Amino acid sequence: MAEQLVTLVMVVFGAALMPLAARRLSVPSAALEIVYGMLLFNTVLAHHPAWFELLKELGLIYLMFIAGTELSLRELRSSGRILRYVLIPLPAFIIMPFLMHFLGLPWYIGIVLAMISAGIVIPVLKEADLLKLPLGRDILGVALAGELISILALTFLNIFHQYGFTPMALLDLLKLVALLGLAGLGLKLLYLLAWWHPGHVDRVMRSEDPTEEGIRLVISVAFVGGLAAFAAGVEPILGSFMGGVIFSHVFKSKGRFEDKINAVGFGFLTPFFFIGVGAAFDPVLLRSPKTVLLAVGLTLLLLASKLLPLLPARIIGLRGIEAFGMALLLAAPLSLLVVAGTLGQKMGLLSPSLNGMLILTAVLASIVYPMVFRLLAPRLKQDKSK
């Protein structure tokens, strides 16, 4: 019992300190949590108990739910540029798998390198005061569209990896769509009930609520989405992401309630996932110059995959420096890169060492590229304000 308690205290204590260190170093706290997990479980603690693995999986499911809530389908539709936002990430998903195969690496790594996440994009744009400018809205639009494409790609890969191009795969896909449709209908009914009882909703979602009814409901939605996906034969994280998208679409104005959602996730559950990712990382990989050089090469290819569709910058209404700034920020999909690597190892498409290399790539990219973007941001802001 004492050993279990020591493990819990060290994990929770590290999770509490990492955001403070991350703020001082201007790097994502998730990157430091991965590093902390690697150091903690490879130097101080000999093993991680079963409850830690469970909390790691729960953290991953809730992380993907939060990612889903960040994706605003309504905002994408109303932008009037949704076709452009969708077309910008697509070339990388076609070119990168072939490039990886040509380089003698698994094609799945190409899919992973093509992925885009809004997790780091939103806070960096807010910090740089670019979110309200046209360039910031374009970057966010591409990030949201790219995140949706990335999740859909993972969903299709997961289903077809299990069943191949067979009627069973199509059946499972239809089953997943039907379950998510039912989830959407259920949330819509809740929304209608909320419309009839606005006072109760206001108390739950905006005011102080000592019993936290709303956040209990949201956590239920996150895990029910995961259960629905599991019932359809795909990874629970894909269902929790879609559940987050549906929740965000049905409940348009979340107000302070969004802070509660993030507090439960980033304050408690998701650090277990990122620290767990670091715990599973084999430090022996760092002693291999070949592995480290390959991770650096993948970090550069990660940026190249975001530059590919932005080469004809003028056609999409961007100057060269703006296209480069967009590529820099999109080339740091930390959480999705780690999630995709974890899923790839589960599916047997990646070996543990290749997954470790992707984790190292994710950490490097999430530190270097946002840092370079921050140096470039004042010039981007000055140019757009003229």
- The yes-or-no verdict on residue 361 having pLDDT over 60 is yes
**pLDDT value of position 299:** 92
pLDDT tens digit string along 47-77? 777 788 888 888 888 888 887 777 666 666 6
**Mean pLDDT, rounded, for 122-149:** 79
- The yes-or-no verdict on residue 385 having pLDDT over 60 is no
Are the CB atoms for 26 and 374 separated by under 8 Å? yes
Q: What is the CATH number of the domain that holds 64?
A: 1.20.1530.20
**pLDDT value of position 145:** 82
Please tell me the total count of domains within the chain.
1
Q: What is the domain range of residue 307?
A: 2-384
**pLDDT value of position 208:** 58
325 vs 369: CA distance, rounded Å: 9
pLDDT tens digit string along 286-329? 888 888 898 899 999 999 988 877 765 555 667 778 888 888 88
Taking Cα atoms as reference points, which of 228, 221, 236 lies closest to residue 56? Answer: 236
Report CA-CA distances (Å) from 134 to 165, 173, 229: 42, 37, 37
**Mean pLDDT, rounded, for 222-228:** 79
**pLDDT value of position 321:** 81
**pLDDT value of position 46:** 72
Q: How confident is the model at residue 337 (pLDDT cuts 50, 70, 90)?
A: confident
Are the CB atoms for 180 and 68 separated by under 8 Å? no
Q: Supply 250's token pair.
A: 């049905």
112 vs 13: CA distance, rounded Å: 32
Are the CB atoms for 326 and 318 separated by under 8 Å? yes
378 vs 351: CA distance, rounded Å: 42
**CA 359, chain centre distance (Å):** 13
As a whole number, the mean pLDDT across the chain is 78
Model confidence, pTM:
0.76
Q: What percent of the chain has pLDDT over 90?
A: 6
**pLDDT value of position 153:** 86
State the chain's maximal CA–CA distance in angstroms.
Answer: 63
